[in-house]
Chain A
């Protein structure tokens, strides 16, 4: 009978269909999610979310080599980078300032306050229109005003912002990045809010429904001391010889939370920090982990629930590292840490990081001023750094006023004395036994063109050991046309941060990034760096607010009113003087006659 053969038919059909289906949907892409939590020295808590999607080179390619097949890799991003011929893209939304002296170095590459966008794009004739179109498209995608990054804010760094991907000039030869150019733009005043987070979360495979991304609660995230949301796209090598490449999309959220502000104690849990728990791992993720950097003394705290694995202290890792593997957990995870102390007391002395910097404005008045950057080198050996600063066109820098001087030791209070030695640029070539003359190794300067491009100052500096180096330059403030002022003109204009790029080995202040590399090393090979080698670290300074001479916007109206009044009075008076004459009218004469006669006057 036919119906008895039915089950076997069904089984045969399914068996044939399944491999076909898996071949169609079997993209060679992978997704990992990690959460790193690290208590910081001053009682705050670092929470770093990292979501990595890797897709094999060619895995996205359709015909004509354009991207066509999307699995876990988000289509909106793939179309953007394909259409605009972008090789590497880094977009960061930051609010707050990363305090290097209190918190060490951030886990992922941090950025200055505001929105920072830099990209390596194929250099052909259409690179300018591609860059403009890229900023506009990203502004629509992330609901930010990135379209304001136009020619007046775009710069091309020569020494800093080298490619970080497979074509990283620190690890591979530079000829691999031929044919591409870099573009950098920053909006220091840009606000970051839920409308930026919403599209960012929608790029994740599990969105905010499952996995670690469920913890991203806007109400808690935007209540933190520092938060930074980033998206990084770069090509990476699968092995040491770079025979096969992948395209990597890394989405990170770095935040510094403050439990002490609420309760006076350092205790925290997922529900107190984020208002939520992790229900489950993202089903499509290969790795879903929560990593916790534990304090060195295990009697100081209690941790519930207990960790899955722990890595004890090693030469590379100064603190034990506890890992929770979410794919093995069946219940929701609500991590809790309780400290065995009554109240948190701030440490009086903290160790400073190895290289950090501060930027500030000097001078007074609305006509001229100056900018100084103090770069601190806390190590016992000299350190090579790249210094990058892009100053908008309305602050006209004068290169002849550039001064690079060494102010003294980092811990000045130990010395008790203040020793300053000034070295001007034109004395660099003179040999001297001072030993500080070769601070500036290289200098690139791009002067500004009014309303057209900013000025760019880039230097390669060799910082002396244990020193504070001051880079200062003076500028004139431009008197803008009254239509060029913003609606809130009296606030002033923002100037972006200076960026210091340096190679630093892993260390005590750089532990978090070491941890992430270790976690990543175990499972997936990406562009991994041996923890003994140096890592490319970027240090950002503060952003500045420049107060330009602001006109009184009510004056045009006042002037018009006043002038018109004066003209009317003047014209009226002269006209009257010239034309007016006084005549006695007949009515008055008749009135007098009638009065004399005694008759009542006519009322006509």
Chain B
């Protein structure tokens, strides 16, 4: 017997409803299972959700042009790989672009061939000139800034931020000179990083330093999740690219050295990276050649929990977020044991 049209339609309607109800997952799935899935998402890879870069040039005066160029080269690299100006703190101890001694106004070059203008049209310097002091640097890192400090001068990182800290200037055995007037010691730096860890201001940190005897600067760091690399060992100086080599020569028009070797060879590697690159930090560190750099670069990875070949270059130098598409929804609630990741400090 054929059902009347009305009943047939009602039956179809009800059955489709039931099918939908059956197929649609419930809004609240198992609580603990959710947490596991989300935890797995955050623990695969670095677990960071945003990137910050702190780029510091501590030198003043025209003959330290190369330190400004170093810092601006790194600035250009991190911007190119995706970190926005709002997440970059750029500290330049002096202004060389609009310096009356600069033959090419409003430009900074890192190469004698003058192929690339690092200053460009869109640059944002957060701390400049006399503002680059040890106090301002440490206050910015630890977040203990004055109440009136504008947003662009604050490091607003959280516990899921990966931070790149790059410093360059004149340094020595466990100290770095700020503007020829004061110095920051390796202990100060280690304490600042420890405060940052206590306040959960970073997820992982890459500390890069290009000065004379740079590797001593990170010898006192004791906080977890910090990877450090420096340009020269104790007793060695870092050299700038002034010796005539096949590709480049000192820039006679500018009159001073325009870049340091360690940063130069880092950039050679980084210029071949784009946002989709899967190269790891191990590849970067393997590309260091002590003969070319003319000093022995060092790497300290004992505080870093992940093996270096699994750490992508863009985890620190770029702002590449990990995105996973899921067919289900998950509720994020606070974990029961809030500090589930507690690290025992061995030293």
Q: Is the CB of B179 within 8 A of A191?
A: no
Min CB distance B179 to A, Å, is 4
The bracket for how many chain A residues form the interface is 20 to 34
Q: Is the CB of A191 within 8 A of B122?
A: no
Q: Given A95, A192, A198, which contacts B124 in the complex, CB threshold below 8 Å?
A: A198
Contacts of B125 in A (CB 8 A): 143, 195
Binding site for A on B (CB under 8 A): 60-61, 95, 97-98, 104-107, 119-126, 128-131, 146, 148-153, 178-181
User: Of all chain A residues, which has the CB nearest B102?
Assistant: A222
Would you list 6 pairs from A and B whose C-beta atoms are within 8 A, ordered by A residue? Answer: A133-B148, A136-B150, A140-B126, A143-B128, A194-B97, A487-B130
Min CB distance B78 to A, Å, is 16
Q: Is the CB of A222 within 8 A of B150?
A: no
Q: Is the CB of A145 within 8 A of B105?
A: no
Is A428 positioned at the interface, with any CB of B under 8 Å from its CB?
A: no
Contacts of A190 in B (CB 8 A): 129
Contacts A193-B95, A193-B97 given; indicate if A486 touches B130 (C-beta within 8 A): yes
Contacts of A140 in B (CB 8 A): 126, 149-153
User: Of all chain A residues, which has the CB nearest B104?
Assistant: A219
Q: Is the CB of A218 within 8 A of B121?
A: yes
Min CB distance B216 to A, Å, is 21
Is A297 positioned at the interface, with any CB of B under 8 Å from its CB?
A: no
Q: Is the CB of A487 within 8 A of B124?
A: no
Min CB distance A230 to B, Å, is 17
Is A139 positioned at the interface, with any CB of B under 8 Å from its CB?
A: yes
Q: Given A198, A219, A487, which contacts B105 in the complex, CB threshold below 8 Å?
A: A219
Min CB distance B86 to A, Å, is 11
Contacts of B60 in A (CB 8 A): 487-488
Contacts of B130 in A (CB 8 A): 145, 148, 486-487
Q: Given A141, A143, A194, A487, which contacts B121 in the complex, CB threshold below 8 Å?
A: A194
User: Of all chain A residues, which has the CB nearest B103?
Assistant: A223
Q: Is the CB of A145 within 8 A of B61?
A: no
Is A132 positioned at the interface, with any CB of B under 8 Å from its CB?
A: yes
Contacts of A488 in B (CB 8 A): 60-61, 180
Report the separation of the CA atoms of residues A198 and B150 in the bound assembly, to the nearest whole angstrom: 17
Report the separation of the CA atoms of residues A427 and B150 in the bound assembly, to the nearest whole angstrom: 52
Is A137 positioned at the interface, with any CB of B under 8 Å from its CB?
A: yes
Q: Tell me the dominant secondary structure on chain B's binding face.
A: loop
Contacts of A194 in B (CB 8 A): 97-98, 106, 119-121, 123
Residues of chain A in range 85-101 having any CB-CB distance to chain B below 8 Å: 95
Q: Is the CB of A198 within 8 A of B98?
A: no
Q: Given A95, A133, A145, A218, which contacts B129 in the complex, CB threshold below 8 Å?
A: A145
Contacts of B124 in A (CB 8 A): 143, 195, 198-199
Contacts of A487 in B (CB 8 A): 60, 130, 178-181
Contacts of A486 in B (CB 8 A): 130, 181
Report the separation of the CA atoms of residues A223 and B152 in the bound assembly, to the nearest whole angstrom: 28
Contacts of A133 in B (CB 8 A): 148
User: Of all chain A residues, which has the CB nearest B129?
Assistant: A145
Q: Is the CB of A136 within 8 A of B149?
A: yes
Contacts A136-B148, A487-B181 given; indicate if A145 touches B106 (C-beta within 8 A): no
Contact flags A270-305 to B (C-beta < 8 A → 1, else 0): 000000000000000000000000000000000000
Specify which of A132, A137, A194, A198 lies most central, judged by the most chain B CB atoms within 10 Å of its CB: A194
Q: Is the CB of A193 within 8 A of B98?
A: yes
Min CB distance B36 to A, Å, is 42
Specify which of B125, B179, B180 lies most central, judged by the most chain A CB atoms within 10 Å of its CB: B125
Q: Given B105, B129, B181, which contacts A223 in the complex, CB threshold below 8 Å?
A: B105
Q: Is the CB of B179 within 8 A of A143?
A: no
Specify which of A139, A144, A195, A221 lies most central, judged by the most chain B CB atoms within 10 Å of its CB: A195
Residues of chain A in range 393-436 having any CB-CB distance to chain B below 8 Å: none
Given contacts A190-B129, A194-B98, A218-B121, 15 further A-B pairs with CB under 8 A are A136-B149, A140-B149, A143-B126, A143-B152, A145-B129, A147-B131, A148-B130, A195-B128, A198-B122, A208-B121, A218-B119, A219-B105, A222-B98, A488-B180, A553-B181
Contact flags A111-148 to B (C-beta < 8 A → 1, else 0): 00000000000000000000011001101110111011
Min CB distance B113 to A, Å, is 18
